[in-house]
A and B are shown apart, each in its own frame.
Chain A
């Protein structure tokens, strides 16, 4: 084989070694920062709460992954079926059952349509200070061209509020076309 083909091979393995070394070397730093950022995020979603404890979720709602108990409410992690993939969210709900904050943590929805939910503050702000009474198309405007994504996010909100208030909510996948 010609000598010149070794150049890309050597480059690939050199970068692989560099990335592997950095990943392992920075693991400790990364974990500490992730924990610190996570706490800061929880404090932002549930204002006036400084400390959080993780509670085991034993309910039947398939949308709820984990629960963080704060001093004046809960931050609930939800995963719901979106249009293309799962949508993971963190939702802050006060002890009175009011949404105090929400953030989309992870999604793979359609670029330019459902993916707007990541950054469209106007859409997400509609859920603030609600108490489990939101419905897409009734009192909440959906994202343009992303009704399924919008309903999945609404389903997350309803599950989170229902956890705190104890209301019954249908669990499971987003209903298409409703």
Chain B
């Protein structure tokens, strides 16, 4: 049985935490710069970066599909609130939306990852798959709006 390392959620916390850290510094030292909002396409982008990190550093780890939405909701809700970008109510909304988005993206990416063939092409395939998923998320968000 494959070991469940929860690396994916740790990677998400690091990626989102790093992005928010940069945003706090930009807000402080270059306030005129418009900071990208944490909307659905950007949530998908951050999720895909975490998934790629999980693929290349912890490939084969078993997924816990109860912990993934719970921990990702905590990540997307708590970190922007701690960075003082959103209030309590918006943080709750972000947490719920972020949890759903991350879980969906994880399911999609994992199913693609499971079908990637072995061989020299498989090294770049996750990156290209992630790029395709990001473009799809942008189109989907455009339809929603």
Co-complex (A, B): yes
A20 CA to B17 CA, complexed, in Å: 11
In the complex, what residues of A have CB within 8 A of residue B127's CB?
A: none
Q: A8-B10, A15-B20, A26-B24 are in contact. List 17 more A-B contacts (CB 8 A).
A: A4-B4, A7-B6, A7-B10, A8-B13, A11-B17, A12-B13, A12-B74, A17-B82, A19-B83, A22-B25, A23-B82, A29-B28, A33-B31, A106-B34, A108-B37, A110-B145, A111-B41
Q: How many residues of B contact A (CB 8 A)?
A: 38
A110 CA to B27 CA, complexed, in Å: 24
Q: Which residues of A contact B (CB under 8 A)?
A: 2, 4-5, 7-9, 11-13, 15-20, 22-24, 26, 29-30, 33-34, 37-38, 41, 84, 105-106, 108, 110-111, 118
Contact A12 B71 (CB under 8 A): yes
In chain B between 31 and 86, which residues have their CB closer than 8 angstroms to a CB of chain A? 31-32, 34, 37, 39, 41, 67, 71, 74-75, 78-79, 81-84
Contact B6 A5 (CB under 8 A): yes
Report A148 CB to chain B, min CB distance, Å. Answer: 12
Main secondary structure of the interface of A (DSSP, over half): helix
Q: Which residues of B contact A (CB under 8 A)?
A: 4-6, 9-10, 12-14, 16-17, 20-21, 24-25, 27-32, 34, 37, 39, 41, 67, 71, 74-75, 78-79, 81-84, 138, 141-142, 145
